[in-house]
Amino acid sequence: MMKTILITGGSGFIGSHLCKLFLTEGTQVICVDNLLTGSISNLNSISKHPNFVFTKHDISTDIEIEGPVNYVLHFASPASPADYERYPIQTLKVGSLGTHNALGLAKVKKAVFLLASTSEVYGDPLVHPQPEDYWGNVNPIGPRGVYDEAKRFAEAMTLAYHRTHGMDVKIARIFNTYGPYMRRNDGRAIPNFISQALLNEPITVFGNGLQTRSFCYIDDLTQGLRSLLYSDFNEPVNLGNPNEMTLLELAKLVIELTGSKSKIVFQALPQDDPRVRQPDISRARKILAWEPKVDVRTGLLKTIQYFKTLE
Ligand code: UDP
């Protein structure tokens, strides 16, 4: 029997990669998305695939799906800080009500549930790198609180369904990820820097650029998500690339790889911007036998290639 996977947020950056990955493996894929920050054009290459269905729906409201569903993957949410500042209430709703609805659907279908959580649950971390047993340092009422707290609530809700209803759940704490099918105007560092570099416009580094992130290429992430989905582990697992760099280093690397004439300009650091971030992926290595393989230069070159096709 063909398995069916339902992916909320399936037209977004990570969601659209997952739709394509599971279709190539002979799975039926149902994409549920309200297109608030996702793009239907991300699905152009699969829109006519016989095993693919797109449903325009806001998962923060009740959902009914006919037929069997074996896996529910909850990826719907604004994920760029610029987006969750623009859509604070939708972000809180999709992390709370949306997670509740997606869990409810998984429960009636007796499906495995996977939550797309985030490194933002660690906030501006006081432990570095971040292991899963670190509880985090989050400002609940700051501009990022709408995302961070919604995802923290979503994790609590997911484990409550596991403990109360015996549901098979997975929680992926996804660290900074990049690659093709990010939007040019996404607002996050890599799409911003590449878009600016290709136009020879100033590269906007926020603060002094000495804050760090660790960037994971999308294909590595989707392989990690797939392994987690098919694992028997129910607690959170960090998925990301531990290769940490400063934003200034990233800006210089993008200028080098694009051969751009852009200059770096410094702009104000957004409130509560985490100063450091690096995943401790010991758990993923041990439980999933997973680790990222794509180095940042290779991944950036592929992403730059994609952004050039958008021009
Ligand atoms: N950033 C930057 N310039 C930009 C966009 C982002 O310097 O044009 C910085 C941002 O302040 C943060 C880092 O890049 O320190 C990563 O930001 P992003 O929005 O990509 O994701 P975050 O990790 O903050 O969720």
Could you read off the pLDDT of 58-74 as tens digits, one per residue?
999 999 999 999 999 99
Rounded CA-CA distance 12/42 in Å is: 7
pLDDT at 311 over 70: no
**181: annotated active-site residue:** no
Rounded CA-CA distance 126/228 in Å is: 27
In sequence order, what are the residues at sequence separation of 6 or more whose Cβ sits closer than 8 angstroms to the Cβ of residue 167?
Answer: 103, 106, 107, 113, 161
* pLDDT single digits (tens) 87-123: 999 999 999 999 999 999 999 999 999 999 999 999 9
* CA 119–ligand 1 middle distance (angstroms): 14
Same domain? 165 vs 282: yes
* CA 189–ligand 1 middle distance (angstroms): 5
Which CATH number does the domain housing residue 265 bear?
Answer: 3.90.25.10
* pLDDT single digits (tens) 282-310: 999 999 999 999 999 999 999 999 999 99
Same domain? 140 vs 249: no
Rounded CA-CA distance 223/263 in Å is: 36
Q: Which residue minimizes the CA distance to atom 23 of ligand 1? A: 176
Does residue 77 fall inside a structural domain? yes
Does residue 130 fall inside a structural domain? yes
Does residue 184 fall inside a structural domain? no
Number of helices and strands in the chain (H, E): 9, 13
Rounded CA-CA distance 15/42 in Å is: 9
Does residue 108 fall inside a structural domain? yes
Does residue 107 fall inside a structural domain? yes
Same domain? 230 vs 139: yes
Q: What pTM was computed for the model? A: 0.98
Does residue 266 fall inside a structural domain? yes
Q: Which of 173, 30, 168, 28 is nearest to 112 (CA)?
A: 168
Ligand 1 atom at minimum distance from 176 CA = 23
Rounded CA-CA distance 240/153 in Å is: 21
pLDDT at 46 over 70: yes
Rounded CA-CA distance 49/63 in Å is: 23
Q: Which residues line ligand 1 (CB under 6 A)?
A: 80-81, 176, 188-189, 192, 204-206, 211, 213, 247, 269-270, 273
Does residue 128 fall inside a structural domain? yes
Does residue 70 fall inside a structural domain? yes
Ligand 1 atom at minimum distance from 82 CA = 19
Same domain? 204 vs 154: no
Q: Check residue 253 and report its DSSP letter.
A: H
Q: Which residue minimizes the CA distance to atom 25 of ligand 1? A: 81
Q: Which residue minimizes the CA distance to atom 21 of ligand 1? A: 188
Same domain? 135 vs 265: no
Same domain? 93 vs 205: no
Same domain? 48 vs 138: yes
Rounded CA-CA distance 28/261 in Å is: 46
Same domain? 142 vs 201: no
* pLDDT single digits (tens) 154-211: 999 999 999 999 999 999 999 999 999 999 999 999 999 999 999 999 999 999 999 9
Rounded CA-CA distance 188/81 in Å is: 7
Same domain? 130 vs 159: yes
Number of domains comprising the chain: 2
Instruction: List the domain range (segments joined by +) for residue 28.
Output: 4-179+217-242+278-293
* CA 271–ligand 1 middle distance (angstroms): 11
Same domain? 198 vs 93: no
Average pLDDT over the chain, rounded to whole? Answer: 97
